[in-house]
Amino acid sequence: MIQTLDHAPAAHRIASADEAIAVAGALAERFAQGAAERDRERRLPRAELDELSRSGLLAITVPREHGGADVPTLALGRVIRLLAAADGSIGQIPQNHFFFVEVLRASGTEAQRRRFFAEVLAGRRFGNALAEPGARHALEFRTTIRRDGDGYRLDGAKSYSTGALFADWIPVYAVDEAGRLQAAYVPAGAPGLDIVDDWDGIGQRTTASGTVRLDGVRVPAENVVAHHRVFEGPEVFGAYGQFLHAAIDVGLADGALAAARDYVRRDARPWGEAGVERADQEPLVINRFGELALRVRAARALLDDAARALDAARAALADAADDAEALAAEASVAVAAARAQADTAAVSVASDLFELGGARGARAGRGLDRFWRDARTHTLHDPRRWKVQHLGDYELNGVAPPRNGIV
């Protein structure tokens, strides 16, 4: 029996990349206004996410043949940057949604794509149940999916389930009897599914990235995507997921830099020896701000470069071009570089902004600390050292990154 959901916000249908960026910019302006207060009070952004659904932004990666705008990855990156700069938590929550839209695109059957893309176009949201508590590493999955009559049964537990609490569908990574990776799309409220709001991180405080428990959750066969197939040949699926994370980090760096600019212009005091009236006239402050801006500009440029490389590789893979495997490797490395620089920019700019204006910037009421807490928390998803390792091995030895879904 096909599971369907009866409720959904009335979603606008975005038609182009330019429209997507414009809509994201308008939403970001509104979301930024209450971001510090939501963070301080840990007030979950339910109303904001409903507005995001109604805007149509969550459907911009749906293929055109299914009614979506199918925007280039460059535009998707800019949309995520805008949202993350306004509110780091709101910027992260849709990451898993876009990730599981891509799972369908990469691994779903035509019937699955047709059905679930219609859900996305209607404004419904995907959460996630990926990471496993107690697992030795990010590539180990203990949650099981087993045949049960004409369907399947899911058992296990998940942590860091960003977006699940707000989702209409919770896609779950699980391994079958043969040890193969499957993605099961479970409707919110399914019997045996328990979503626990126990996230207590120092940053990204309103993502509700808590625990999901699955106790004999029944899933019809048509909701199960044979995701292991995508890793049987050259792919950029893993790089695509990493690109989404990099875009969040660049957005966090953008937000921190903008906050630093506003603080220096409006409230910071110059050092007495500078002989100037305002902090934004002090030569050493100007120079330091330039260094921070340089890091952010480098991160933006590398993110855009990675987006173009991803789209070139995806086109080549779709056409089975002779250079498809080489382009896939280059895209993975380009994303690794973007991720590494975004990590550096987000954490360092969010920390160093306090140097520009002195002790008054550390007052809790200003909320400037949330940029560092959000950046430090989100950049822990995957270690920067391995992004640099893959980049170095590729440039020095010509070794392509592995096909494991996290590169």
Give the least confident one: 91-105, 302-316, 353-367.
Answer: 353-367
Tens of pLDDT, residue by residue over 138-170, are: 788 999 999 999 999 999 999 999 999 999 999
Identify whether 84 is part of a domain.
yes
- How many domains is the chain partitioned into structurally? 3
Q: With cut-offs at 50, 70 and 90, classify the pLDDT of residue 136.
A: confident
pLDDT at 12 over 50: yes
Beta-strand pair 193-196/151-158: unpaired
225 falls within a domain: yes
Tell me if 299 is assigned to some domain: yes
Q: What is the pLDDT of residue 403?
A: 78
Do 253 and 367 sit in the same domain of this protein? yes
Q: Which of 66, 90, 121 is the last residue of a domain?
A: 121
Residue 374: is its pLDDT beyond 90? yes
Residue range 255-283: mean pLDDT, rounded:
91
- The answer to whether residues 318 and 208 belong to one domain is no
Q: Is the pLDDT of residue 359 over 80?
A: no
Q: Is residue 356 over pLDDT 90? A: no
pLDDT at position 110, please? 97
Tens of pLDDT, residue by residue over 386-397, are 999 999 999 999
pLDDT mean over 223-245: 94
State residue 1's pLDDT score: 38
Up-side HSE of residue 127: CA atoms within 13 Å toward CB?
Answer: 27
**pLDDT-based confidence at residue 2 (cuts at 50, 70, 90):** very low
Do 211 and 352 sit in the same domain of this protein?
Answer: no
Same domain? For 262 and 371 the reply is yes
Whether residue 347 sits in one domain with residue 277: yes
Which domain CATH number covers 29? 1.10.540.10
Kindly state the tokens that stand for 316. Answer: 């080549």
- Same domain, residue pair 305 and 172: no
217 and 314 within one domain: no
Residue 357 has pLDDT above 80, yes or no: no
Q: What is residue 405's three-state secondary structure?
A: coil
For residues 94 and 40, membership in a common domain is answered with yes
Q: Please check whether residues 166 and 151 belong to one and the same domain.
A: yes
Residue 133 lies in a domain: no
What pLDDT is attached to residue 134? 84
Looking at 186, 202, 229, the residue that finishes a domain is 229
CB 371 within 8 A of CB 255: yes
CATH number of the domain encompassing residue 252:
1.20.140.10
Of 337, 174, 320, the closest CA to residue 246 belongs to: 337
The CATH number that applies at residue 186 is 2.40.110.10
pLDDT value at residue 4: 45
Mean pLDDT of all residues in 297-320: 97
The domain boundary, picked from 59, 90, 121, lies at 121
Check residue 5 and give its pLDDT.
Answer: 52
CA separation for the pair 189, 138 (Å, rounded)? 27
**pLDDT at res. 9:** 54
> What Cα–Cα distance (Å) separates residue 176 from each residue in 146, 158, 159, 184, 225?
6, 16, 20, 11, 12
- Mark whether 244 and 213 lie in a shared domain: no
| Mean pLDDT, the chain, integer | 94
Q: What is the pLDDT of residue 138?
A: 79
User: What angle (nearest 5°) sits at the alpha carbon of residue 331, between those of residues 328 and 337?
Assistant: 145
Does residue 135 form part of some domain? no
Confidence of residue 196 (pLDDT cuts 50, 70, 90): very high
- Mark residue 367 as left, alpha or beta (left: phi above 0; alpha: psi -120 to 50; beta: remaining): left
- Answer yes or no: is 323 within a domain: yes
Q: Concatenated DSSP letters for 50-63?
A: HHHHHHTGGGTTS-
In a domain, 322, yes or no: yes
pLDDT (0 to 100) of residue 158: 97
How distant, in Å, are the alpha carbons of 271, 272, 310 from that of 277? 10, 9, 48
Show the domain range for 342: 233-397
Please report whether residue 9 resides in a domain.
Answer: no
Rounded alpha-carbon distances, angstroms, from residue 17 to 126, 185, 243:
21, 28, 17
39/182 same-domain check: no
The answer to whether residues 240 and 218 belong to one domain is: no
Sheet with 169-175: strands ordered across:
193-196, 211-220, 151-158, 144-148, 169-175, 181-187, 224-225
Higher pLDDT, residue 84 or 2: 84
| 0.85 surpassed by pTM | yes
Give the pLDDT mean for 116-145: 93
Q: What integer is the mean pLDDT of 205-219?
A: 97
